[in-house]
């Protein structure tokens, strides 16, 4: 049985469209929580990105231990393992975070279903660009209420120019014209 009112899905699509338009107009920022989305149950998690580099580091250091003579092999293998861990922490992990961020963001702005799935996992944060402290954090925050409250309807492109061109001339226009004539513009 469907517990949502019949217009809820249509309303969600309209709010989602407004959210995406605002993102593309750079009114809001959408951020990804790497720690919440980098796990096997996440739809944007890639096992080979996470396991592959670790397997290569472990295999390489183990190969050094096995194929280099006994006293030096253990020393060089341990050093290779320490170097590999540092390489993973400072180079590979940020690379994984960047790729996961891009995949999650692309999926979230692709369609409403993906947005809702990622929102329920708690991997997204919406912030207003002009007020950084105003944010909506998933999964506890209500993105629909955030969009309704902070993101007004988007204007039709060119509507401001049309309204400015067709407004009646008043005293303000005469003052502006006089100013422009003084400046020779």
What's the average model confidence in pLDDT over 13-18? 89
What's the pLDDT at 156?
Answer: 44
In a domain, 47, yes or no: yes
Domain that holds residue 142: 20-182
Q: What is the pTM of this model?
A: 0.70
Task: Count the alpha carbons within 13 Å of 167 in the hemisphere toward its beta carbon.
Answer: 10
In a domain, 174, yes or no: yes
- On average, the pLDDT of the chain sits at 81
In a domain, 106, yes or no: yes
- How many angstroms separate the most distant Cα atoms in the chain? 94
What's the pLDDT at 180?
Answer: 54
In a domain, 3, yes or no: no
In a domain, 74, yes or no: yes
Instruction: Please state the domain count of the chain.
Output: 1
What's the average model confidence in pLDDT over 76-80? 89
DSSP 36-88: HHSSTTSTT--HHHHHHHHHHHHHHHHHHHHHS-HHHHHHHHHHHHHHHHHHI
177/185 Cα distance (integer angstroms)? 9
Q: Pairing state of beta strands 124-128 and 28-32?
A: antiparallel
133-154: string of b/e by CB count within 10 Å (b at 16+)?
Answer: eeebebeebebeebbeebbeee
Q: Is the backbone of residue 169 left (phi > 0), alpha (psi -120 to 50) or beta?
A: beta
In a domain, 48, yes or no: yes
In a domain, 68, yes or no: yes
In a domain, 2, yes or no: no
């Amino acid at each position: 049985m469907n517990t949502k009112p019949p217009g809820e899905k249509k309303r969600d699509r309209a709010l989602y469209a407004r959210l995406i338009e605002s993102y593309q107009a750079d009114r809001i920022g959408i951020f990804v929580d790497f720690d919440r989305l980098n796990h096997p149950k996440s739809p944007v998690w890639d096992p080979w990105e996470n396991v592959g580099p670790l397997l290569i580091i472990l295999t390489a250091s183990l190969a050094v231990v096995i194929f280099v003579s006994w006293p030096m092999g253990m020393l060089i293998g341990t050093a290779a393992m320490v170097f590999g861990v540092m390489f993973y922490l400072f180079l590979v992990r940020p690379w994984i975070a960047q790729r996961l961020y891009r995949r999650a963001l692309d999926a979230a702005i692709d369609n409403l279903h993906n947005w809702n799935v990622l929102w329920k996992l708690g991997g997204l944060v919406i912030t207003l660009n002009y007020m950084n402290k105003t944010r909506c954090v998933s999964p506890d925050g209500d993105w629909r209420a955030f969009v309704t409250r902070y993101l007004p309807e988007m204007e039709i492109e060119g509507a401001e120019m049309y309204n400015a061109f067709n407004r009646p001339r008043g005293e303000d226009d005469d003052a502006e014209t006089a100013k422009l004539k003084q400046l020779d513009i």
